[in-house]
């Protein structure tokens, strides 16, 4: 039985992963500071689906599955806490989701940018030291992001690039062009993990994940209290979630700019399976590897049209409008990212066209009475971060 520590297990990807690994027979313990719940309160936002307390979630999981997931309430910035958990549990694998994961949050103002980078980079660095000291052969599975690469005008490889320069060749990390202070923090994480793998002999898998969608996994369907998040607001919500909620309430789908921004996407069921595959196929000691974790790619306009078409099947009259883009990003660009490693290891993808209605639009329709329309319009401007939201909003203590 693998002992797996899931950091950030109260969040969207972390919760689904913890349930999936527990159901697969792993001994799972969650570490989470519950900070995301505080950020929601401070920003006046909430998941459209009702999220129970952590205690209730875990009690229900124990009741319906017959399995127990442990829980430690604490922060990765507290090294004494983190090291005590690692030394006590002695995990075979650590799945690291415990970071501030929103690009708009990181662009609100100076305080949010500093908080994001301090929280993410130092928390990850503390984790690397804890692994080195207590469980040096543990496999770190770290959630990265495809946003580290940006949108270069060349094919994106899986982490590394064969380079020839002045007659000499080498295999080097793929160049990074992150688009926010959040994405920059992920780049710093990748560099630190790569460095400690080379110098300390740690082994790590960096999963550069695309945009995740869906609320349903086999485990979350076992009881209503196990439902996952559906974030649609301007800070933590995704464009796809926003479109589905707008379609449900009869609001025009707001496409930022021209809508040509293209990204990789994957179903939450594929996210948890990718984590399981990585754990089941660990790297060698001292090996740092990168998997690009997505299954399809779409432009924002393509997503809007998919939602429009799926909404029509449900009798919804869905219209699309273009609005000014609050972000600084290329809206028409080349995008071709490799993503073969996980498929070669056994991933059998789900596709958006097969699950858009059941896993998103139908759920948005079910809870449409709880939609807060005031949280959808963008409030964070990449060009004027100090004018985006009140200074200090959504900030919490770091330890």
Domain presence at residue 396: no
Span between the terminal Cα atoms of the chain, in Å: 32
pTM: 0.96
**Residue 397, pLDDT above cutoff 50:** no
Answer yes or no: is 333 within a domain.
yes
Gap between the Cα atoms of 84 and 69, Å rounded: 18
Q: Which of 116, 149, 151, 186 is catalytic?
A: 186
182 noted as active-site residue: yes
186 is catalytic: yes
79-96 residue pLDDT tens = 999 999 999 999 999 999
Predicted confidence band of residue 1 (pLDDT cuts 50, 70, 90): confident
Phi and psi torsions of 86, nearest 5° = -65, -45
Nearest C-alpha neighbor of 196 from the set 286, 126, 118? 286
pLDDT digits (tens, 9 = 90+) for 265-293: 999 999 999 999 999 999 999 999 999 99
Residue 387 lies in a domain: no
Looking at the domain assignment, is residue 390 inside a domain? no
Determine, yes or no, domain membership for 395.
Answer: no
Domain for residue 355, yes or no? yes
Tell me, yes or no, whether 206 lies in a domain: yes
Which domain range does residue 225 map to?
Answer: 3-381
Tens-place pLDDT, residues 311-326 = 999 999 999 999 999 9
For 248-265, what is each residue's pLDDT tens digit?
999 999 999 999 999 999
Q: Is the pLDDT of residue 296 over 80?
A: yes
Mean pLDDT, residues 167-189: 98
Q: Find the largest Cα–Cα distance for the chain.
A: 64
Number of domains in the chain: 1
The answer as to whether 272 is a domain residue is yes
Token pair for 35 = 């900070």
pLDDT for 5-49, tens place per residue?
Answer: 999 999 999 999 999 999 999 999 999 999 999 999 999 999 999
Which pair of structure tokens corresponds to residue 348? 């059998």
Task: Kindly name the residue from 12, 149, 182, 288 that is annotated as catalytic.
Answer: 182
Find where tokens 């073969």 sit: 340
What integer pLDDT is reported at residue 392 of this predicted model? 44
CATH of the domain at 121: 3.40.50.720
Query: What's the pLDDT at 387?
Result: 63
Q: Distance (Å, rounded) from C-alpha 250 to C-alpha 318? A: 7
Catalytic pick among 49, 145, 271, 295: 145
């Amino acid at each position: 039985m693998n002992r797996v520590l899931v950091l950030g297990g109260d969040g969207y990807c972390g919760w689904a992963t913890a349930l999936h690994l527990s159901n697969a027979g792993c001994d799972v313990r969650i570490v989470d500071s519950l900070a995301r719940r505080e950020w929601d309160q401070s920003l006046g936002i909430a998941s459209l689906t009702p999220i129970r307390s952590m205690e209730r979630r875990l009690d229900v999981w124990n009741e319906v599955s017959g399995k127990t997931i442990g829980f430690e309430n604490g922060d990765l910035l507290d090294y004494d806490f983190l090291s005590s958990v690692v030394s006590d549990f002695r995990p075979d694998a650590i799945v690291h989701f415990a970071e501030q994961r929103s690009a708009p949050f990181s662009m609100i103002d100076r305080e949010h940018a500093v908080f994001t980078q301090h929280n993410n980079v130092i928390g990850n660095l503390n984790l690397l030291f804890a692994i080195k000291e207590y469980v040096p052969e543990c496999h770190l599975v770290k959630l990265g992001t495809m946003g580290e690469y940006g949108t270069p005008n060349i094919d994106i490889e899986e982490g590394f690039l064969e380079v020839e320069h002045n007659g000499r060749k080498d295999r080097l990390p793929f160049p990074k062009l992150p688009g926010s202070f959040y994405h920059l923090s992920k780049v710093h994480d990748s560099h630190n993990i790569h460095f400690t793998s080379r110098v300390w002999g740690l082994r790590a898998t960096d999963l550069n994940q695309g945009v995740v969608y869906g609320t349903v996994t086999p485990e979350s369907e076992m009881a209503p209290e196990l439902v996952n998040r559906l974030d649609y607001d301007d800070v933590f919500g995704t464009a796809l979630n926003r479109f589905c909620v707008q379609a449900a309430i009869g609001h025009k789908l707001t496409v930022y700019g021209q809508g040509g921004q293209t990204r990789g996407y994957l179903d939450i069921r594929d996210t948890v399976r990718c984590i399981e595959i990585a754990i089941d196929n660990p790297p060698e000691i001292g090996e740092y590897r990168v998997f690009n974790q997505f299954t399809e790619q779409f432009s924002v306009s393509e997503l809007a049209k998919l939602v429009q078409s799926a909404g029509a099947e449900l009798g919804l009259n869905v219209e699309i409008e273009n609005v000014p883009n609050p972000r600084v990003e290329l809206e028409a660009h080349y995008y071709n990212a490799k993503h073969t490693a996980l498929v070669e290891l056994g991933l059998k993808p789900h596709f958006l066209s097969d699950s858009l209605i059941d896993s998103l639009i139908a759920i948005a329709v079910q809870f449409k009475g709880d939609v807060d329309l005031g949280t959808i319009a963008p409030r964070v401007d990449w060009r004027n971060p100090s004018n985006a939201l009140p200074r200090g909003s959504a900030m919490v203590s770091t330890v």
